[in-house]
Amino acid sequence: MALVNRAILPVKTPFILVKRFRGKINIQRPRKPHFERQLLIDLSKPYYGPRKNSLPDYALCDKSKQSSRTEIDNPFERILARECLDWFNTSKMVVFLHLNSISMEDKTPIFATLKKNDMHLRTYGKKIVSMATKGTRYEAVNQLFTSHQNIIFGQPDKADKMFKILKKAPQLVVMAGIIQDKFMSKNELLEFSKMPSIDMARSQLCAVLDSAGCSLVRQLNQSQQMLVSYLEKHVELQNKPKDQDMES
């Protein structure tokens, strides 16, 4: 059996041993590679930039990358911008809101209540409003927008009702508004909401004018009435002795 194993599986021992020339490799001061090899090493050498924690804040900002992007013409954005401009032109009261964190479950009842009172809550982004108001008299409102913003469109006589509705949602904060093409702050809007309606103001004006006319007529007739009363009294006094003589 041992003879068979030797014949089938012979063990070969090498006759030549490979040995590196001149002993060990010089790691501390290696020999410079060939020019082509050094060129390939330089081209394939990886580049590691500085760490992000060592960079200033302005270097980490991505606005420079975003500004280099080419803007794509979006037809849907143009449709939204046209709709936003129509709301600005047809609404005599435009109120700009700052939206804090609010769930859709809390926002939906406010939206429904405003719509029930003929007021419409809309949400537009800064780009849409900029496209809608560019070149119009509403271009100054772009300073109020940073991202998506909520706007209420309605009529001026609903201002008092709007503040009552927004009391139920403190997450919706009134910043400013436009009433009949006049830009107003929040305090001015509050003062405007406390003013009576135009019909009530007209009725009060009519009452004042009517009272002034009645007072003028009364003052003009007062002297005549006094004169008539004095004459009647004088006639009565003159006729009184004659009546007594006739009785006697």
Asked if residue 107 belongs to a domain, the reply is: yes
Annotate 208-230 with b (16+ C-beta within 10 A) or e (fewer). Answer: eeeeeeeeeeeeeeeeeeeeeee
Give the pLDDT band of residue 219 (cuts 50, 70, 90): confident
Asked if residue 148 belongs to a domain, the reply is: yes
Residue 161's domain comprises 75-194
132 vs 15, more confident: 132
Q: What angle do CA 49, 52, 54 make, to 5 degrees?
A: 95
Residues 72-105 pLDDT 10s: 778 888 899 999 999 999 988 999 998 888 888 8
Cβ within 8 Å of residue 238, ≥6 positions away: none
How high is the pLDDT of residue 152?
Answer: 92
Cβ within 8 Å of residue 107, ≥6 positions away: 169, 171
Asked if residue 152 belongs to a domain, the reply is: yes
Split into its structural domains, the chain has a count of: 1
Asked if residue 89 belongs to a domain, the reply is: yes
Asked if residue 7 belongs to a domain, the reply is: no
CATH code at position 158: 3.30.70.1730
74 vs 58, more confident: 74
Asked if residue 237 belongs to a domain, the reply is: no
How high is the pLDDT of residue 153?
Answer: 93
Asked if residue 232 belongs to a domain, the reply is: no
Residues 15-26 pLDDT 10s: 666 666 666 777
Asked if residue 22 belongs to a domain, the reply is: no
